[in-house]
Amino acid sequence: MSQRRRRRCLCCKELFAPDPRSRYHQRFCSKAGCQKASKALSQARWRAKPENQDHWRGPEQVERVRAWRKAHPEYWKKESSQAVGTLQEDCSAQPPVAQQLKPELVRAPLQEDCFTQHPLILGLISMLTTSTLQEDIDSTRRRLIARGHEILGMVPATRLKAHEQKTPGSGAPAPTPAPV
Q: Which of 48-62, 82-96, 113-127, 160-174 has the highest mean pLDDT?
A: 48-62
The predicted model gives 95-117 an average pLDDT of 58
Give which of 123, 117, 131 is closest to 170, Cα–Cα. Answer: 131
Whether residue 96 lies inside any domain: the answer is no
Q: Which of residues 19 and 169 earns the better pLDDT score?
A: 19
Domain count, the chain: 2
Whether residue 175 lies inside any domain: the answer is no
Instruction: Render pLDDT for 148-165 as a digit per residue (tens, 0 to 9).
Output: 888 887 755 545 454 444
Whether residue 84 lies inside any domain: the answer is no
Instruction: Render pLDDT for 23-76 as a digit per residue (tens, 0 to 9).
Output: 889 999 999 999 999 999 999 999 999 998 888 888 988 999 999 999 998 887
Q: What domain range includes position 154?
A: 110-168
Whether residue 105 lies inside any domain: the answer is no
Q: Is the pLDDT of residue 1 over 60?
A: no
Q: What is the rounded CA–CA span in Å between residue 138 and residue 51? A: 70
Please tell me the predicted confidence (pLDDT) of residue 166.
44
Q: What angle do CA 27, 33, 38 make, to 5 degrees?
A: 35
